[in-house]
Amino acid sequence: MTTGRAGCSYFGVRVPRHVERDMSDLAARGYGAVLHTFSENDLAYYRQTMAEIVAASHRAGLWVQASPWGLGRTFGGEAESRFVAFHPEECQVVDDGRRVAAACLNSPAYRAFCREWADWALDCGVDSLFWDEPAWVVPAHVGVEPERWSCRCAHCAERFGRELPRELDDDVRAFREASVVDFLREMLAAGGEHTICLLPATEGAHGISDWDAVASLPDLTTFATDPYWKHWHEPAGPFVRRFARLLRETCERHGVAAQLWLPSFGLDASEIPDLEAAVAAAREEGVGDLWTWGYEACGHMSGLATPDAPQVWAAVTRALTAPPPLEARPARDLVREMNRLDATIADAVAAAGDELAAAIDAVSARLELGGRLVYVGAGTSGRLAELDAVECGPTFGVAPGVVVAVGSGDCAEREDDTALGASDVAAASVGPGDAVVAVSASGSTPYTVAALETARAAGALCIAVVCARDSALERIADHAVVADVGAEIVSGSTRLKAGTAQKLIVNAISTVSMMRLGRTYDGLMVSVVPENAKLRERARRNVVLATGAAEDAVDAAFAAAEGDARVALIALLAGVDAAVARDRLDKSHGSVRGALA
């Protein structure tokens, strides 16, 4: 059995930032390569965008192939062809004389167009061109009867040496096959690396009987096939094994690399064993460069998706990538995987946005009436809560003791101590006017549960910040903010995604509450405590921005306000002296906007 590179197709997305995210996801899952579809529409409207997409793929560490997606209806893909619409005279003629919407492989104009596409794709920086399922048109794809065949146009007659007969005899079959091979020979002259992927057929109207003729083409780098067993109504394992063996033997004769594609689209959960058997068969036959079509089992495309696409995607990824243990992976891979997981945190917090906003409204109401914001927590959660509490004073100018942290996680034993949780809250004199925010990833930390129960008994407003549903803290709280971030890269290490989510939530609780209380002005930190030169200059600059006053007027207002930016701001905007400004600020409980009102 051999292992090798795992690749995946990706198509349809043309927003580079979204592609960048998905390429990082592919790499983090263990894929080493991606195939991007370059359609005629992309050639017309997304020339530079496709170069950006290739660059994003390379930044993720992926090797990149480009497929002529649906070009002229010669190659695989659902994309429509602009060429056949603009050049009907270059289209194929079926045996009964009808011209159909598919470019003729023997048309000089069409060959020139395909070379233009190849030059553009190579200019975009791809590592290889991928000539996907080159064949004469499938009748069903252009709405004609399945027994029809093509092409009998003037270009074909010129190459054949006379008008082609109406019957698909041996001479015509040989001519059709030779035309495909000659077409590919011309395409490979474009330079760069090339992969040719033939349909898994050596007979019939669209098969190539002589794979050696293709594999021996000059400038070919990789020879591929895509034995999609369902399309051919064959059992997965034996069908894939037969063509994997033919592929490997052909490639060995001609010294080119072998690549094999397997479907993940259109499969349901019951067919996952077939998919796994197909991967195993290919590897046992010595083909290690295995790819799947396509990303997320094409779950984003309703015509190819099944309800089980997520399960199939997980299964094919597991089968193809077979990643080594985390500890054995390179640091860059681990960083990429952590980045991928971290990217889900903001969405988890956003999903709890309604509960978070309601909690902030309730906290703000308590603070406005003179109550306190009291954080409780132990371990990592306690330390995150304490960090937020200690920063509220210097950032928002709140008086000492208005925002405090109980517990703070200074020792591991604290987490299990229910008596200490209760006594710490009692010692902090928590009462009905206070808002208590309990922070715990699991929502079941004994210390924190006991602390919130004690706060509730004292009549305090109770908020839970947790990362698990249906927790003990959620059941106790008046408001529960639940950020379900899922499993951690290191199982049980809640300082990772859970810790980041908790930090985002407590940031929002304190910051938005202070904004509601008027501790900022037009998004500026006008309440910052100027304890050093940097903060003094920041306070001064904020007053300049908020008032638009001249520099000397701001300096004078600061001097009169004894360095209090809020007093200086009120004095300048309201046109009063520092004493009046300070009195207004006191009466508005520190709210700049209230003092100005």
Query: For residue 95, what are the CA distances in angstroms to 132, 139, 144?
Result: 25, 11, 11
Render the burial of 478-509: b for 16+ CB within 10 Å, e for the rest.
Answer: ebbbbbebeebeeeeebbbbbbbbbbbbbebb
Give the rounded percent of residues in the chain with a pLDDT score beyond 70. Answer: 98
Phi then psi dihedrals of residue 470, to 5 deg: 60, 45
Q: Is 576 left (phi over 0), alpha (psi -120 to 50) or beta?
A: beta
Domains, the chain, with CATH or none: 345-516 (3.40.50.10490), 533-596 (1.10.8.1080)
The closest alpha carbon to 8, from 326, 316, 281, belongs to: 316
pLDDT for residue 1 is more than 50: no
Give the catalytic positions in this structure.
391, 415
pLDDT for residue 592 is more than 90: no
The better pLDDT of the pair 3, 349 is held by 349
What is the pLDDT at residue 393? Answer: 87
Grade residue 410 by pLDDT with cuts at 50, 70 and 90.
low
**Cis amide bond preceding 153, omega within 30:** no
Cα(375)–Cα(386) distance, integer angstroms: 7
First CA to last CA distance, the chain: 78
pLDDT for residue 3 is more than 60: no
Q: Quote the Cα angle for 281-287-290, to 5°.
A: 90
pLDDT for residue 166 is more than 90: yes
Q: For residue range 275-312, what is the model confidence (pLDDT) as tens digits?
A: 999 999 999 998 999 999 999 999 999 999 999 999 99
Phi then psi dihedrals of residue 197, to 5 deg: -115, 110
Cα(501)–Cα(411) distance, integer angstroms: 22
Q: For residue range 257-285, what is the model confidence (pLDDT) as tens digits?
A: 999 999 999 999 999 999 999 999 999 99
Flag the least confident range among 227-231, 505-509, 553-557. Answer: 553-557
Q: Residue 403 has what DSSP assignment?
A: E
Q: What share of the chain is helix, strand, coil (3-state, %, to 5)?
A: 50, 15, 35
Give the rounded percent of residues in the chain with a pLDDT score beyond 90. Answer: 74
Per-residue pLDDT, averaged over 513-536, amounts to 83
Tokens of 293: 């079509």
pLDDT for residue 117 is more than 70: yes
Per-residue pLDDT, averaged over 391-417, amounts to 82
What is the pLDDT at residue 539? Answer: 80
Q: Quote the Cα angle for 225-201-315, to 5°.
A: 45
What is the pLDDT at residue 333? Answer: 73
Work out the mean pLDDT of the chain and round it to a whole number. Answer: 92
Grade residue 58 by pLDDT with cuts at 50, 70 and 90.
very high
Grade residue 408 by pLDDT with cuts at 50, 70 and 90.
low
Q: Quote the Cα angle for 399-404-408, to 5°.
A: 150
CB-side neighbour CA atoms (13 Å) of 82 = 11
What is the pLDDT at residue 2? Answer: 41
pLDDT for residue 171 is more than 80: yes
Query: For residue 334, what are the CA distances in angstroms to 4, 172, 326, 451, 488?
Result: 20, 56, 7, 37, 13
Per-residue pLDDT, averaged over 319-332, amounts to 78
Alpha-carbon torsion, ordered 580, 586, 589, 592, to 10 deg: 30
DSSP letter string, 428-497: TT--TT-EEEEEESSS--HHHHHHHHHHHHTT-EEEEEESSSS-HHHHH-SEEEE------SSTT-TTTH
Q: Which of 193-197, 333-337, 384-388, 421-425 has the highest mean pLDDT?
A: 193-197
Residues 6+ apart with CB under 8 A from 518: 588, 590, 591, 592, 593, 594, 595
**Cis amide bond preceding 143, omega within 30:** no
- Is residue 403 within 8 A of residue 372, CB to CB? The reply is yes
What is the pLDDT at residue 463? Answer: 97
